[in-house]
Structure 1
Amino acid sequence: MAIMNIREAINRTLHAEMERDSNIIVLGEDVVGGAGTAGGQEAIGGIWGTTGGLYAKFGAGRVIDTPISESAIIGAAAGAALAGKRPVAELMFADFIGVSLDQLWNQMAKFRYMFGGKTKCPAVVRMIYGAGMNAAAQHSQSVYALLTAMPGLKVVLPATPADAKGLLTEALRGDDPVMFMEHKTLYGVKGEVPDGEYRQRFGEARVVREGGDVTIVACGRMVGFAEKTCDKLAAEGIGADLLDLRTTSPLDEEAILDSVEETGRLVIVDESPPRCSLAADIAAIVASKAFTSLKAPPAMVTGPHSPIPYARELERAWVPSPQKIEDAVRHVLAFR
C-alpha cells in the first residue's frame, strides 16, 4: 500500500477516474488553478491543491474554471448529469450551499423520484467544510446535517486517505447525487491507501476501536479527536467502541444499534450546533430502537448553538475537543 495524505488521495482518484471515464468533468472556482498566476494556469491546482494536473491532462473541455456563482456551478452540474455527463462540482466552501439550495434540494435530489426513475443524476459535489483554520463564521461550518435531511442526496465524509479514495471512487461510479464533504483541516492527514482499484460502499461504518464499556459515534475530523480520547481511556482500562460513520446518508444504523446493545452507553460527537443536528438524530434513533439496552442517557458532544468565532482561542473553545469527549464518556459511565 502507498502512503499518502487525503489531498493526494483525492487528486489521484480524480486522475484515475477521469482516465477511466471520459464523461467525468470537473467544474468550479479556480479548479484549473487560476489563469495568470505566477507559474501558469496550474500553479495552484485550486486553492486546496486537490485538482492539480487535471487541466494539463484533460484540457479545457473537461476541467472548467467557472464564474464566482455557486448557483451556476451546481445548476450546470445538474444539467450536465441529466445530459449524460458525470460532473464533479467543487464548492470552495460548504457554507456557500445556501445560494445553490434550489439546485440541490429541489432539483438534483428529486430528479430520479419525480421522473419515475427514467433519468439519473450522477453528480458529485465536493465541498470543503469545518472549523479549525480560523476562517470565521461564514467559512467554517459543518453543513452535513442540513444535507442529510434532504431525501435523494447521499452524504459522504471521509476521515482517512483510504476512505477518501474508496468513497470518492464509489461516488464517481454511482448514479445518484453525492455530497462529498472534505474537512479543510484533514487534507494533510497521512495513511495507507490500497493500490489499484478500490471502492468503499456507502452506508458501512468503520470500526476504529473496539471496547465493551461505551459506544462513541463520530465522523470527519471528530474521528481523530475521539481516537485520542479512546487511547487515553484505554490506559485506564476503559474500552470504547469507536465508529466512524463514513456516510450520514445512508446511515449505518445497524452498526450503531449493535454496538449500543453491547455497551449500553452512547456518546455522539458532532462538529455542528446541537439543535436538529446529526447527534440529535442518532440519539433519537438509539432512544427509540435500543432504549432497553441503554444504561445511561445518550450524550451529545457538539459545538454550541452559535456562529463559529474567528478568534483562535474562541474557535478552539467552540469546537468539540478530546477533553470534552472524555468528559462525556465519564458522565455516561457514572450511571450504574
Structure 2
Amino acid sequence: MAAAADRPAAERHVPVLLDRCVELLAPALAASPDGPAVLVDATLGMGGHTEAFLDRVPGLVVVGLDRDAQALALAGERLARFGDRFVPVHTVYDRIDDVVDERVGHPVQAVLMDLGVSSLQLDEVERGFSYAHDAPLDMRMDASTGPTAADVLNTYAEADITRVLREYGEERWAARIAQRVVRRREQAPLRRTAELVDLVRGAIPAAARTTGGNPAKRTFQALRIEVNGELAALERALPAAVDSLAVGGRIAVMAYQSLEDRMVKRTFAAGATVSTPPGVPVVRDEDQPYLRLLTRGAERASQEETEHNPRSTPVRLRAAERLRATPRRRRTA
C-alpha cells in the first residue's frame, strides 16, 4: 500500500457533508450578468468539495484559497482537468475580499468555508498536528512562515500559556499544564509531540483523565489555534466573505469546535436581524436584515456519514443567503 504522502488527494480526503453543501449553495450558482458563476472555496484543502462543485455545476469557476502550499499543490493535481475553471490562490482566507477584487473583479455567487485542521495536515505526521503520533512540535498550516508550537511553549510566559490553553482549548487544567511546561523547559526545551502528551497527562488529575478521549486534545487544539491565528483570521474572514457575496449569493460554513461555531452563529444572526435602534418606530431600509438563514441552527452529519468518515462527527454546518447590498466593511488590521 502506498504511504499517505504518496497517495493522490482523492484517496486521502473524504469531504464532509458534501451533498448538503452542494444542495445549499447550488441555487445561487446560475451564471451571473458578469459571466460564469464563481464560488470561492476559502479553505481548499485537498479539493474534494471544489471537485464536486466543478463536476456538478457546468461552467462554474472556483477560486480556491489555502495557506498550505502542499495542499494547493495536491489540489492542483486533482483539479487540473478543469483547466482555467479552477483558480488556486496561496493566502489566508481573511483576504477573501481582496482576492475577489483582484481575481474576479465583482461579487461572487457563493462562498464555502470548511474550518479547522485539514485531513492533509492531520495525516502528515511530521507536521505535528496529531497527539496520536510522535513528531516535531510544529503545527503551522503554512510551514514556510511563523512560530511553531515549540516556540510558543518554550518562549511564552506562564500566564500567556495558561491564557492560550484556557481560551482556545477550553482546558480546565490550563494553569497546571502551563506550570508543568515552564518547569520542564527550565531543564530542556519541549521539542516533540510525545513529550507534550506525557506532560499534559501528568498535569491532569487521574480522575479527570478517565473520560473525554486523549487528555492532550484540548492542549493541541489551543496551540494550533494560537500558532495559526485561526480565530483572529476567522473573525476577519466572516464579514469579508459576506461582503464578497452578490445579492442572492450564498455562504456555507462548517465548524468543528465550539469557538468557531459561535463566531459563525453570531455573524449570521447579526445579518439576519433587524438593526433598528431602540425607540425608532419605523424600520429603515438600511436596518433591514441583509442575510437569510438557510439552516435551522447548526446541522450535523448523519450517523451513516460519521461511521464512514469519523472526522465528520463534530461538524456544525450553517448557511445563509445575501438579501441586499450593504456598505462594505474594511479590515482594521
Q: TM-score range by the shorter chain?
A: under 0.3
Greater helix percent: which structure?
Answer: 2
Q: Could you tell me the TM-score, scaled by structure 2's length?
A: 0.27
Greater strand percent: which structure?
Answer: 1
Q: Could you tell me the TM-score, scaled by structure 1's length?
A: 0.27
